[in-house]
Structure 1
Amino acid sequence: MADRDTKMPPPDLPPSRRRLSRPTQRPDLAESSSSRSFGMSASSSQSDYPKSDAFSRATKLEVKRLAGDQCWACNTSTTQVCHVFGKEDPQIPLWYDANLINFDLISVDNGIALCPTCHAEFDQMADPGFVLLPSDLQYFIDVELDERQARKLALKNGKDVHRKVPTAEEYKIHQSNNGKVSADASGGLYRPIFLKNYLLGGRLPSHILDTLSTPKQWHGAPVATLRRGILVLGGARVQSLDAETRSQLELLRDLYFLDDEESSPAVHSRQAYLVAQQGQKRLLDDEQGGRNNLSKFSNPATESGNKGADEDITSRQCSPSALNAPRRWTLGPGLTADEAVLRYAPLLSHK
C-alpha cells in the first residue's frame, strides 16, 4: 500500500491553461517583463490590449507617499490604493484603439490613494459618488484640436499619424508655465467632484464639502480621470457637474470618439470658436515659452525630484494599430536601498 504521505506530482496542464500560468514573483520588486507589465489576456481577441492588474506593493507605497499617506479626496488617514482606470473596465480596448491610453495601467500613473469610503464610491461605475477631473479641461480640448489638424495634414501627405494625448508630465508643465503649480510639483491640478454627499452619512456640512472640492495636485495620468468623468455624462448625477465642465466633457468625448465626418454639431460649432481663440493663446504661449515648448523642461535638473521613483524603460512593441505605453519603475536602478528606506519608512512605521 502506498505511503499516505507520498505526494503525487500535479497533472500536466493543457496548452490552453499553460498560457494563463505566471511565474512566482515578489510583488514588491519592479518587473521588466513586458508580458507581466501589461498583464495580457490569454484570449486571442484581447491579446493586443493591456489589462489593468493588481498593483505591486512598491507601487502602492509610492502612490500613498505621493498623496501624503492620506485620502486624496477627504484627507482621512486610512488609505487604500485604487485604480483610476478601472481594473475590470470593459472599455479598455475602445480607449486603447483610440490611442488614448498612453500610460501603464498597473503603474503609479493609474493609482490614487483613497479612504475605504471614497474608494467604494469611486468604484461604483453604475452610480459613482466621487470623481476627479483636470482643473483645466480646455487644455485637453486645445491639444486635441491641434492634433486633429496635424493628423489631417499628415494624411494628405500619405502618413498615418496616431493620436497623442497629454501625459501627466506634459499637463504638469502646462500648469507650471501658467503659474498654477511649481516646477517641482508632483503633478497638475485636479478638481475633486463629490457627486453625492456621502461623507459622515451625508451629514457633512456643505461648506466643508466645498473646501474639500478645492483643486489639488495629483501625480497620475489625466486621461484616466477623463474616463471617469465622461462616464458621469450618461447618468442622472450629471446635474452635479457645472455647465462649463459638462460642456467641456461632452466636447472631449465627441472629439475622442467621433470622426470628423461624424462629429456632433457641438464639435463643429465649438471648433470654429476655439480655433479663433487659439490664435490669441498661441501668441501668449510663444511669449512665455508655451505648452508645446517641452524640450527645455525635459532635462535631468527638472526631473530630479522624481528620480528613482518613476523612470521610463523600454516601451513594449505593439501592433501598428496599438499605442506604445511605457513601463515605469517604482523601485528601479536609480534608487538605492538607503533612499528607499528613507522614502517609505514613514509609511511602513505605523502599518
Structure 2
Amino acid sequence: MAPGFIILPIDLAWFLDFERADFNDRQKLLREGKSRRRIVPTSQMYRAHLEREGKLAAFPFAGEKGVNRAVSNECQDQGGLYEVYVRTDHLTNHWNDEEILGLFLRGKIWHGSPAALILHAARVLSYPNRGEEWVDEEKLRSVSELILLWGREPTPSHQTDGNSGDSTSKSTPPSPPPNSEPDDQNPRGNYEPSRWIRCV
C-alpha cells in the first residue's frame, strides 16, 4: 500500500535558490583550488528565512482556538512552517469538527530537519498516483528538481548556474549555525516522526 501522506516546507522555492547558490559557491571555490561540503538548510536557517520574509505568521499561533489548537509552545519558537498533503482522506468522512481536522490537515510549525522531510516526500511521491492528483504539479516539480540538484557535485570545468548568479548574490547561503551539520548529516538527516506527532 502506498504511503498516505507527506509533509513539506511551505517555501520550496527558497530551498531551490539556496542549493543553486551553494553549488555555485562550491564551484567557485573548486576553481580556486579549495573545496567544502554542501550546506543544506537547517530548521534554524529555514525559520530565519521565513522571519525575514514575514511568512512566519502564516498559520495560527499556539493556544489559539481553531485549526491549530494542538500546536505546543515547545515547537512554536523553533523551526519553520510545513503543510500536510494526504493521498487518501480518511478523516473528513468521519469528523466534521474543524479543530479535530486541524490536528492533522492544517499546516504547523515543526523543529526538525526540513531536508529529511523533503527526502521522505520524494520517496513517497515515487509511487504511482493512478490518476489521483493529491499534490499539485508545481510542488511535484520542485521536489523532483531539488532531488536532482542535491545529486550534483561541482567539477573544475563545470559552469555556474546562470539563474542564480555567483556566490556574492543575495541568494548566497548564510554561514550555518554552530549546531548545523554538513551534508553527510543533512539532507540525510534524522527523520523524527514521533517528534512531529508530539508537537502537532
TM-score normalised by the shorter chain: which range applies? Answer: 0.5 to 0.7
Superposition pairs of residues 138-149 of structure 1, within 5 angstroms: 138-149=13-24
Tell me the residue number matched to 1:239: 133
Find runs of 4+ consecutive structure 1 residues off by over 3 angstroms: 202-205, 207-214, 258-261, 321-325
Relative distance call for 1:233 and 1:258 in structure 2 (3 A) is farther
Cα displacement (A) at 1:324: 6.6
Root-mean-square deviation (CA, aligned residues, Å) is 4.0
AA matched with 2:134: S
Tell me the residue number matched to 1:196: 88
> In 1, Cα distance between the equivalents of 2:126 and 2:111?
27
Which blocks of at least 5 consecutive residues in structure 2 are unaligned? 58-75, 156-160, 187-197
Deviation by residue 1:286-310 (Cα, 9 ceiling, x = unmatched): xxxx974x79xx7xxxxxxxxxxxx
Cα displacement (A) at 1:170: 0.5
Tell me the residue number matched to 1:45: none
Which is greater in Rg?
1
Tell me the residue number matched to 2:146: 252
Deviation by residue 1:209-237 (Cα, 9 ceiling, x = unmatched): 68954322111110110111111231123
1:136 equivalent among 4, 11, 34: 11
> In 2, Cα distance between the equivalents of 1:150 and 1:156?
10
Tell me the residue number matched to 2:78: 186
AA matched with 2:133: Q
> In 2, Cα distance between the equivalents of 1:322 and 1:172?
19
Tell me the residue number matched to 1:229: 121
Relative distance call for 1:219 and 1:210 in structure 2 (3 A) is closer
User: Are the aligned partners of 2:79 and 2:112 in contact in 1 as well (CA < 8 Å)?
Assistant: yes
Relative distance call for 1:249 and 1:324 in structure 2 (3 A) is closer
Provide the aligned length of Structure 1 versus Structure 2: 159
Structure (1/2) with the larger helix percentage: 1
Tell me the residue number matched to 2:106: 214
Higher relative contact order (CA 8 A, sep 6+): 2
Cα displacement (A) at 1:199: 2.8
> In 1, Cα distance between the equivalents of 2:44 and 2:142?
22
- Taking only the aligned residue pairs, the percentage that are identical comes to 26
User: Are the aligned partners of 2:4 and 2:86 in contact in 1 as well (CA < 8 Å)?
Assistant: yes
> In 1, Cα distance between the equivalents of 2:154 and 2:133?
28
